[in-house]
Amino acid sequence: MTTMFNTYQHVISDKNVTFDGKTLPESLVINDRGRYKTYYAPFDYINMSARLVICGITPGMQQATNALNKVAQIMSTDSEVETTELLKHAKEYASFSGSMRRNLIDMLDFIGLAKWLELDSCARLFDTHAHLVHYTSALRYPVFLDGANYSGSPSMLSQPELIAQIDAYLVHELSQLSGCVFLPLGPKVGEVFDSLAQRGVVNASQVLSGLPHPSGANAERIKYFLAQKERAALSNKVNPLSIEKARESLINKIKSLKSISSLT
């Protein structure tokens, strides 16, 4: 788990290197293939005690910057910190940070996941009950397409470079987790988990597909999913039927899930 971090640790700890949220240093580039460019950011930590795995597309610039700054700050004040603990703090701090976190919490509570996890709210997954959740991405390290955050299009499964990253990092990661349910965020990640289920990497009955991506850019779909906007008020960019079907399916699937202890 620490090999990749060890490779780039000197860059993160270099006081002459800054992470301003606009660009990432070229010294953090993992690979540069055509239109796709992948950078290192410290998202290596795997929570082996997790019962819920939340999977996004790939860390964006904001999440990468938050993680890098968190690691740099901790290393500057505690030179003796263990690598595993350092990476744990960085991932918990940066994963789904910003407006995405609030949207995610609201949707998870709405479909009943807090009740299944025996919590008052899924907000606890970001503080007192962080041990129950593992945050990850189909593409573990930040991928940019033509210099912008990669949003899942073209499909990850149509790009050999991105498939290689899924196999190298995500598949290995999921093989180390047991007794979990998996929550792919958005249809692009759902496609990846459908593929993984077909390959036997995950059990399809434990995959909770259909949740809208919690990005702020998806605000209208999220509001409709949460029953905070009337169907008649939706723009023509929103397919209400697909959201309604996904919402009903997720609620029913969580109701039918076995208890947490029976998944171990």
Distance CA 184, CA 142 (A): 17
Q: Which tens digits make up the pLDDT trace of 19-62? A: 999 999 999 999 998 899 999 999 999 999 999 999 999 999 99
Of 181, 168, 73, nearest in space to 117 by CA: 181
Q: Which tens digits make up the pLDDT trace of 207-228? A: 999 998 888 889 999 999 999 9
For the cut 60, the answer to whether the pLDDT of residue 172 exceeds it is yes
Task: Please indicate whether residue 241 or residue 213 has the higher confidence score (pLDDT).
Answer: 241
Domains and CATH numbers, the chain: 3-12+28-263 (3.40.470)
pLDDT of residue 18: 92
Whether the CB-CB separation of 199 and 230 falls below 8 Å is answered with no
Distance CA 185, CA 100 (A): 11
pLDDT of residue 3: 73
In the 3-class helix/strand/coil scheme, how is the chain assigned residue by residue?
A: CCHHHHHHHHHHHCCCCCCCCCCCCHHHEEEEECCEEEECCCCCCCCCCCCEEEEECCCCHHHHHHHHHHHHHHHHHCCCCCHHHHHHHHHHHHCCCCHHHHHHHHHHHHCCHHHHCCCCCHHHHHCCCHHHEEEEECCCCCEEECCEECCCCCCHHHCHHHHHHHHHHHHHHHCCCCCCEEEECCHHHHHHHHHHHHCCCCCHHHECCCCCCCCHHHHHHHHHHCCCCCHHHCCCCCCHHHHHHHHHHHHHHHHHCCCCHHHC
Can you read off the two tokens belonging to residue 151?
Answer: 């949003």
- Compute the Cα dihedral for 250, 254, 260, 263 and give only its sign: negative
Mean pLDDT for 125-133 is 90
Read off φ and ψ for residue 11, nearest 5 degrees.
-70, -45
Please give the radius of gyration of the chain, using alpha carbons only, rounded to the nearest integer: 18
